[in-house]
Structure 1
Amino acid sequence: MRASDAERERVAETLREAVAEGRLEMDEFEQRLDAALTARTHGELVPLVRDLPARGAPVAGRAGASEGRPARIGGTPTSSGAFAFWGGFRRRGRWTVGPRFTAFAMWGGGEIDLREARFAERDVVIRCFTVMGGMHVTVPPDLDVRVDGVGVMGGFGERSEPGGDPDPAPDAPRVRITGFALMGGVGVERKRSAADERRQERDRLGKPDAGDGRKELG
């Protein structure tokens, strides 16, 4: 049977959870993820999650979401704030955002990347404060994001990819980004993850060979 986009994405989310929990090594995760995103049938998807816990697996009779919780939501926060003074901070990769995350930068800068993040709760508030500094927040296109910060002799705003703001996924986390920038700036940018960009490029080129996805990424 042909696999749907939703099933491929649920398998990808299962793999992301597995590597975050230490069940998969990074090289094996990348190989399986690439294979999942290029899979055309259920038969190609099943082996990728056969040895992993049932949570999140959409094929072979297993449920897509566990206990009714949407993907990317749940877990223990790994960070609740960040601070930079005459320096910088970075929160990116696989991390779990607490329900309240506060970032401050003075004469410095910071980067907050939510594209591979999980969220302890569905409703999250990220507060960004900067004085003569800057912050950059990167969010995936399917995240439900609201930006309402204030810039004083500076800027606080959102920029989207060409084509306008996409519709968030129905079960996506709801993230409010607020705060203020004094003589500095806070920028929020919607951008696809590297895995999504690879998948989009494969679709654009029309590559039919799913076996290529099993090669280690460079």
Structure 2
Amino acid sequence: MTAADPVPPRRLRVSHAEREHVIGLLQKAIGLGLIDLDEFSERTDAALASRTREELNVVLIDLPGLVVTPLPDRRPLHLKVSRASLVRDGSWAVPSAICVDALAGDVRLDFSEAEFASRVVEIELRTKGSNVDITVSRTTLVESIDLDNRFGFFRDQTRSPGAEPERRLRLEGTVRASSVRIRNSRR
């Protein structure tokens, strides 16, 4: 598969909202008598551990009568840079998912004045030999959930929002020989 080939739907990554939706369907399956509590626990663990739609669908595949309502379109914004700079700042539209592919490039994402489509934004970083600079407002919590950082530098200089944050940025992906710096805006 080349970078230009689209990812097959079954291989797309799933969000926390999609996992929670499936767990809700599993709760309905208990009420219908389709599964017992032990099976619910096993399937819930599998749903929470799933990364792709294919893995998540396995949890429901043998349960008749459950209608899976499609969630809103969650196509990620793909940002790609190779040996150049990429900047997103000012008032820009932020979808619920962003995928950053950077090869020997500089990426600057400033979320401090951005317009968000959802409260939670999942950001997948796939970088090699790059610098990634992320700026957020003081009411944003940044979580590096599943970020594989090898031979690189990661510094989160943000301050905790204190109370419940207005939004969350969840970082995941693979960072190779790259620097990632996260900081609060000065405003």
**TM-score normalised per structure 1:** 0.47
Determine the structure 1 residue equivalent to 2:118.
121
The alignment yields a C-alpha RMSD, in angstroms, of 2.3
Counterpart of 1:114, as a letter, is F
- For 1:139 and 1:186, the matched residues in 2 are separated by 14
Determine the structure 2 residue equivalent to 1:56.
none
Report if aligned partners of 1:105, 1:129 keep a CA contact under 8 Å in 2: yes
Query: Which of 149, 152, 171 is the equivalent residue of 1:151?
Result: 149
Determine the structure 2 residue equivalent to 1:167.
162
Counterpart of 2:168, as a letter, is R
Determine the structure 1 residue equivalent to 2:13.
none
Quick check: which one's strand share is greater? 2
Unaligned ranges ≥5, structure 2: 1-73
Counterpart of 1:137, as a letter, is I
Counterpart of 2:101, as a letter, is F
Counterpart of 1:154, as a letter, is G
Report if aligned partners of 1:155, 1:181 keep a CA contact under 8 Å in 2: no
- For 2:181 and 2:137, the matched residues in 1 are separated by 14
Report if aligned partners of 2:141, 2:160 keep a CA contact under 8 Å in 1: no
List structure 1 segments (4+ residues) > 4 angstroms apart after TM superposition.
Answer: none
User: Match of 2:118, SS?
Assistant: coil
Say yes or no: does 1:110 pair with 2:107: yes
Most deviating of 142-151 and 131-140: 142-151
- For 1:136 and 1:171, the matched residues in 2 are separated by 21
| Cα shift at 1:121 | 1.3
- For 1:122 and 1:185, the matched residues in 2 are separated by 26
User: Match of 1:90, SS?
Assistant: strand
- For 2:89 and 2:127, the matched residues in 1 are separated by 19
- For 1:140 and 1:108, the matched residues in 2 are separated by 24
Report if aligned partners of 1:128, 1:186 keep a CA contact under 8 Å in 2: no
| Cα shift at 1:171 | 6.2
Residues 132 and 80 from structure 1, CA distance in 2 versus in 1: closer, same or farther, beyond 3 angstroms?
Answer: same
Residues 181 and 171 from structure 1, CA distance in 2 versus in 1: closer, same or farther, beyond 3 angstroms?
Answer: closer
Quick check: which one's helix share is greater? 1
Identity %: 23
- Written as runs of structure 1 = structure 2, the 5 A alignment for 1:1-218 is 80-148=77-145, 149-160=147-158, 164-168=159-163, 170=164, 172-193=166-187
Counterpart of 1:155, as a letter, is F
**TM-score normalised per structure 2:** 0.54
